[in-house]
Chains A and B, each alone.
Chain A
Amino acid sequence: MELDLTRVEEIIDKYRDERGGLIGALQDIQESFGWLPQPALRRLSEELGYPMNRIYSVATFYKAFSLTPRGRHVCKVCMGTACHVRGAPRILEEIERQLGIGPGETTADKTFSLDIVNCVGACAIGPVIDIDGEHKGNLTPGKVAAILKEYREAT
């Protein structure tokens, strides 16, 4: 699929005079495309003058960035302490088993990406997961299958 780089040009213009703007520019690219496509990073390097190794060092350091395309639905399992003591590891295992992937991976059909996050701050309803920005709380392993099914079918 051909990548539409117009959005990248806009982002470049936005950060052209911004001191220390590399992280912000990468965040905007990540937001627009859901990941950091290499052609976009090359344009960033050419226009803003950051060497590619600097861009990759930042892109691989911070968790917010992905160098591979993500699935249609991003499922983030909260692994904060409050969720941990309320059973989050079992929720994660159940999701891994249902999807057949581990954290940081995407299903072959590109339906789901699975991530773990340190805390979403919704401790009152833990263990909690965040799918596409929506929180699903008070989970038990038994509830996982139905939630994933709902999203799989929604496409």
Chain B
Amino acid sequence: MTRLASPAELEQLRNYIVSQRRPDRQWVAICLGTGCRASGSEAVSAALRNALLERRLAAQIDVVEIKETGCQGFCERGPLLVIHPQNIFYQHVKPDDVEEIVEETLLGGRTISRLLYRNPESNEIVVKEHDIPFYRNQQRLLLAHSGEIDPTDIRDYIAVGGYSALPKALFTMRPDEIIDTIIQSGLRGRGGAGFPTGRKWRSCRNAPGDTKYVVCNADEGDPGAYMDRSIIESNPHSVLEGMIIGAYAIGSHQGYIYVRQEYPLAVKHFRRALEQAEEYGLLGHNILGSGFDFSVKINRGGGAFVCGESTALVASIEGKTGEPRAKHVHTVESGLWDCPTNLNNVKTWANVPHIINRGASWFASIGTENSKGTALFSLVGKVNNTGLVEVPMGITLRELIFNVGGGVSSGKAFKAVQTGGPSGGCIPRDLLDLPVDFESLTQAGSMMGSGGMIVMDQDTCMVDVARYFTAFLMDESCGKCVSCREGLVQMHRVLQGICEGKGRESDLALLQDLCDVVAGASLCALGTTAPNPVLSTLRYFGDEYRAHIHEKRCPAGVCKALITFQIITDKCTGCGACLRRCPQKAITGEKKQPHVIDQQLCIKCGVCRDVCKFDAVQVI
């Protein structure tokens, strides 16, 4: 491939790629995102390839293309695949189903009802992907092509209109015009803080210095959040295109992407994207003949949560320990190697090509007055439709969790939703009609964050959740500020005591004091937001704290010191399953007679409840 030397050559290539594709051909998009891989989609893909190859040899099938895509979003139903152009959605596909899919659907044109989505409420079968409520209720902008393109093939991205914003920016817009467009669009940083992106770019452009850097923050450390990873895995060029446009606007010739090392597939796909973009003349020296040079390096994170903070991330790229510094001087003025550095989240960069292509007012028409565009969430926890969702800003939590997410799993009662990762908070049932935007979530004591949304039900103990996040942050605190390093240890000690039934009345006031100090005296956002999980649970779930402290009771049945496992005599059939599996040999009983747990020996591991087929083990 010779490097493309002008926008006209790129358009020629695009037309050629599109002309080579027959619109009537059948093709199968099989999800190979991390979630579906974990459910076994690689084996399904291999089986499908084999089955098609055999038939191709027998000349039964002319052309059926298999596309291994990145995350298609509906992780709950994985492994999943979509047959195009009919848009037939098959879920929970196993290698054994492949023969039938080829015979019935690809050759016979009939659907297999066993593999189709069934609406849990109406029991109605849904054939097409875009009719499934999970997809129908989303507005997919950044994820629009995630289920259609092979992320390792730049031609797929070009075929769907990719790299069309780049020549428009390079050849028809001045850097200042690009920045104005981004400012007018109202795009705000998607890493969580929501700082206006265009203003950040302008500060960096105006900062004195010849060498400037742009950085893509893909150090997605929030537990239960995987939006950034999915975008890089499924559509890496969209992020890269945004970075190149940003670099041109800011006046930078070197970019970095800092990716969590726990995401090997994302690293692999981005690396491939860099190689291909370079090969096609879309990256490197004299991009598309414009005279603009830009290249990008990949840095893998070292597994430190704090490195998602901008100054810590910069230190980490410099090869140092990831300790944040005071921001008297911002990174846009003095960041990486003391040069002006513009750092944005993966999703922020991925929005840029859309804004350049379709204009600022189009983007500003989506969302609310102060939060424009779409929001991406990984909707996880006790929710029916675990997966990756993209919705317009301003949608209510209720619509998001119940219409898109399909409600709480196992028919349990909704208790809270946690947003914003460890810096966020828990939002209770009463606030389900809250719109999802930067301001509303902050007012409710949580925050937008980078997009993890964890649904909790009646069986989730909110004191335990607060303890969990505090333990997480205690572990991840870099240790630079005393308030954060020591304060979190003390907060954790108090919370641990409450969970163990040793809580005292004075603990609640003590916790409040500690929260004030940690929030007020710490340098970076890790410390200043660390009390949020505790403060929000104290604010909305004070009763649960009091039940632990006064009644020595865990209402959700989670805190081990406050619960006991018991066998319900009426339900126990004496099958002996629990007796054989109990690691402590704490269960006794004759065959076919109700069994009993010896509370002195029981360590409350819960194995008996897991193995009981008769629901005869209860927690009280």
Q: Does residue B460 face the partner (Cβ distance < 8 Å to A)?
A: yes
Whole-angstrom CA separation of A121 from B263 in the bound complex: 9
A142 and B316 within 8 A (CB): no
Tell me which residues across on chain B come within 8 A of A65, comparing CB atoms: 302
B35 and A61 within 8 A (CB): no
Q: Does residue A99 face the partner (Cβ distance < 8 Å to B)?
A: no
Tell me which residues across on chain A come within 8 A of B221, comparing CB atoms: 118-119
Among A79, A84, A86, max chain B CB count under 10 A is at A84
Q: Does residue B299 face the partner (Cβ distance < 8 Å to A)?
A: yes
The minimal Cβ–Cβ distance linking B420 to chain A, given in whole angstroms, is 11
Tell me which residues across on chain B come within 8 A of A84, comparing CB atoms: 223, 465, 468
B35 and A121 within 8 A (CB): yes
A125 and B226 within 8 A (CB): no
A 65-88 to B, binary, CB cutoff 8 A, 1 in contact else 0: 100000000000001111111110
Tell me which residues across on chain B come within 8 A of A141, comparing CB atoms: 605-607, 610
A20 and B468 within 8 A (CB): no
Tell me which residues across on chain A come within 8 A of B305, comparing CB atoms: 118
Q: Does residue B16 face the partner (Cβ distance < 8 Å to A)?
A: no
Q: Does residue A105 face the partner (Cβ distance < 8 Å to B)?
A: no
Tell me which residues across on chain A come within 8 A of B302, comparing CB atoms: 23, 26-27, 58, 61-65
Whole-angstrom CA separation of A141 from B337 in the bound complex: 49
Which stretch (B97-105, B279-287, B376-384) binds chain A?
Answer: B376-384
Q: Does residue A152 face the partner (Cβ distance < 8 Å to B)?
A: no
Tell me which residues across on chain A come within 8 A of B229, comparing CB atoms: 121
Whole-angstrom CA separation of A83 from B581 in the bound complex: 23
The minimal Cβ–Cβ distance linking A126 to chain B, given in whole angstroms, is 8
Tell me which residues across on chain B come within 8 A of A19, comparing CB atoms: 318-319, 337
Residue ID in chain B nearest A97 by CB atoms: B583
The minimal Cβ–Cβ distance linking B145 to chain A, given in whole angstroms, is 20
Q: Does residue B11 face the partner (Cβ distance < 8 Å to A)?
A: no
Q: Does residue A29 face the partner (Cβ distance < 8 Å to B)?
A: no
Q: Does residue B70 face the partner (Cβ distance < 8 Å to A)?
A: no
Contact of B321 among A57, A87, A94, A124 (CB under 8 A): A57
Whole-angstrom CA separation of A64 from B299 in the bound complex: 14
Whole-angstrom CA separation of A135 from B380 in the bound complex: 17
Q: Does residue A51 face the partner (Cβ distance < 8 Å to B)?
A: no
Residue ID in chain A nearest B37 by CB atoms: A135
Tell me which residues across on chain B come within 8 A of A26, comparing CB atoms: 302
A119 and B226 within 8 A (CB): yes
Q: Does residue A122 face the partner (Cβ distance < 8 Å to B)?
A: yes
B224 and A27 within 8 A (CB): no
Q: Does residue A101 face the partner (Cβ distance < 8 Å to B)?
A: no
Tell me which residues across on chain A come within 8 A of B76, comparing CB atoms: 124
Residue ID in chain A nearest B611 by CB atoms: A142
Tell me which residues across on chain B come within 8 A of A137, comparing CB atoms: 38-39
A82 and B380 within 8 A (CB): yes
Whole-angstrom CA separation of A90 from B606 in the bound complex: 8
Q: Does residue A12 face the partner (Cβ distance < 8 Å to B)?
A: no
Residue ID in chain B nearest A94 by CB atoms: B605
A 26-65 to B, binary, CB cutoff 8 A, 1 in contact else 0: 1100000000000000000000000000000110011111
Residue ID in chain A nearest B460 by CB atoms: A85
Whole-angstrom CA separation of A22 from B223 in the bound complex: 27
Tell me which residues across on chain B come within 8 A of A135, comparing CB atoms: 37-38
Q: Does residue A140 face the partner (Cβ distance < 8 Å to B)?
A: yes
Residue ID in chain A nearest B321 by CB atoms: A61
A124 and B303 within 8 A (CB): no
Whole-angstrom CA separation of A35 from B465 in the bound complex: 33
Among B221, B263, B386, B469, max chain A CB count under 10 A is at B386
Whole-angstrom CA separation of A125 from B77 in the bound complex: 10
B 443-479 to A, binary, CB cutoff 8 A, 1 in contact else 0: 0000000001010100010000100110010000010
Tell me which residues across on chain A come within 8 A of B263, comparing CB atoms: 121
A119 and B75 within 8 A (CB): no
Contact of A64 among B222, B223, B303, B454 (CB under 8 A): B303
The minimal Cβ–Cβ distance linking B115 to chain A, given in whole angstroms, is 18
Contact of A118 among B261, B316, B322, B472 (CB under 8 A): B472
Residue ID in chain A nearest B605 by CB atoms: A141
Once A82-B223, A82-B380, A123-B224 are accepted as A-B contacts, the answer to whether A128 and B38 lie under 8 Å apart by CB is: yes
Q: Does residue A5 face the partner (Cβ distance < 8 Å to B)?
A: no
Whole-angstrom CA separation of A93 from B320 in the bound complex: 34
The minimal Cβ–Cβ distance linking A105 to chain B, given in whole angstroms, is 16
Whole-angstrom CA separation of A22 from B37 in the bound complex: 32
The minimal Cβ–Cβ distance linking B400 to chain A, given in whole angstroms, is 16
Q: Which of B205-244 contact A (CB under 8 A)?
A: 221-226, 229
Once A63-B304, A124-B387 are accepted as A-B contacts, the answer to whether A117 and B262 lie under 8 Å apart by CB is: yes
Q: Does residue A24 face the partner (Cβ distance < 8 Å to B)?
A: yes
Q: Which of B146-183 contact A (CB under 8 A)?
A: none
Q: Does residue B300 face the partner (Cβ distance < 8 Å to A)?
A: yes
The minimal Cβ–Cβ distance linking B77 to chain A, given in whole angstroms, is 8
Whole-angstrom CA separation of A54 from B204 in the bound complex: 31
Once A80-B223, A122-B34, A137-B39 are accepted as A-B contacts, the answer to whether A58 and B321 lie under 8 Å apart by CB is: yes
Q: Which 6 A-B pairs have the closest CB atoms?
A: A62-B302, A63-B303, A121-B226, A80-B223, A124-B75, A20-B319
Given A61-B321, A90-B605, A142-B610, 17 other A-B residues pairs in contact with their CB atoms under 8 A: A19-B319, A58-B321, A63-B303, A64-B302, A79-B472, A81-B381, A81-B452, A81-B454, A82-B223, A84-B468, A85-B382, A123-B378, A124-B387, A126-B380, A141-B605, A142-B611, A143-B610
21 A–B contact pairs at CB < 8 A? Answer: A27-B300, A57-B321, A61-B302, A64-B261, A79-B472, A81-B380, A85-B382, A85-B465, A117-B262, A118-B305, A119-B222, A119-B262, A121-B378, A124-B39, A124-B75, A124-B386, A125-B39, A135-B37, A135-B38, A141-B610, A142-B610
